[in-house]
Amino acid sequence: MPLTGNPVPAPYHDYEALLAAESGEFVYPELNENDPAAMCYTSGTTGRPPGVVYSHRSIVLHSMATLIGDCFGINSADVLLPVVPMFHVLSWGLPHAAVMVGSKFVMPGPMLDAESLVELCASEHVTFATGVPTIWLAVLQLLERCPEKRDAVRGMRVGIGGSAAPESMIRAFDRFGVNVIHAWGMTETSPIASVSTLKPHLRSLPEAERYAQRARAGYAIPWVDMRVVDDEGNAVACDAQAMGELQVRGPFITGRYHNREIDPQKFTSDGWLRTGDVVTIDSEGYIKICDRTKDLIKSGGEWISSVDLENAIMAHPSVAEASVIAVPHPKWAERPVAFVVLKPSMALTGKQIEEFIAPHFAKWWLPDEYVFVDAIPRTSTGKFLKRALREMAAKTRETTP
């Protein structure tokens, strides 16, 4: 019988009943390591999202790379909680990694609110959890409001990816005894391709420099090659200043999309994946995600990073979330506009936000407008949906005399 006591409606099946109906020993089929094992679709913003096929070999190699100590350092004593769905890059590949080393694996189900997640961490003694920044912003706000819940997460490791984690978030979690591991990847990279753990000789850096380094997207994990190139295809300087497109290749990085011709806009002639992420890279090999190429703001011929502005705004103690988009401008081509969600019972003006972030940016970087909203639209995987914000801004301009 179903655990709920109610019949399972067709065409679904009760999992426990299916297991109980089976008998005998499972015989593993003979498979070629290069056979397809799974396929996920990208979040494509235009047209039909392309599929990315993962082979048995690529999944095994990706799992091995994420298990090592200088990546996520997962072992059999860990209890894993991925707050990312299986349809989104196989839950970041963590189910396979957990099975490989025998870790306990906890699935959060549909209850992804901060209260439910913190309770789950406590009841299941979670040691490592993953998710996008918006998930952990909500958890952080709960911990700030309810100090009695902090013991539930103390000592945990949290992998954050999908978009850049603000430095202020990493600092705040440190205060609660939670170690944030910043990571970068995409559907096409299986997905983890870089992590930001501090190399031994960087651990003695001054505090501000350590946090700045941890807020970067990190360095390539084993088997991943990275390069950063300008518009002409030339390698940019490894000075943490020069920006270029990040390109990657490796045994678990796709070379083409399912049932599609190789697109030169996505793959170079010499076999590198064009990620569409604009980054800087430093002399240690750590990359910093400045923006997606489609989200960079070009104002007066100069580039503005929406990610840097968002992270600076979210560092304000009264701000819960912020997302920055480009809007058309008759003189400067594009200008930044910030959408801001305040924490409960907080009051703030655009001028106060500008005064807070102004010391960190040139004047022409500062947003032209601060729009206060109740919530920022999200994609199915929890990322900010900037397309919806652009549509909102466009409608506002159409109705403004």
Catalytic residue annotation: 42, 188, 298, 303
Categorise residue 125: left if φ over 0, alpha if ψ from -120 to 50, beta otherwise.
left
For residue 191, give the nearest of 159, 166, 165 by alpha carbon: 159
Rounded to whole angstroms, the Cα distance separating 297 from 305 reads 6
| Sign of the four-CA dihedral 99, 189, 255, 48 | positive
Rounded to whole angstroms, the Cα distance separating 111 from 119 reads 11
Long-range CB pairs of 142-145 (<8 Å, 24+ gap) are 142/114, 142/115, 142/118, 143/118, 143/176, 144/172
**Would you state the structure tokens that stand for residue 309, as one six-digit string?**
């502005």
Rounded to whole angstroms, the Cα distance separating 45 from 71 reads 30
Rounded to whole angstroms, the Cα distance separating 91 from 161 reads 12
Rounded to whole angstroms, the Cα distance separating 226 from 223 reads 10
For residue 370, give the nearest of 321, 305, 329, 333 by alpha carbon: 321
What single DSSP character describes residue 120? H
**Would you state the structure tokens that stand for residue 79, as one six-digit string?**
């209890």
Q: Which amino acid is at 333?
A: A
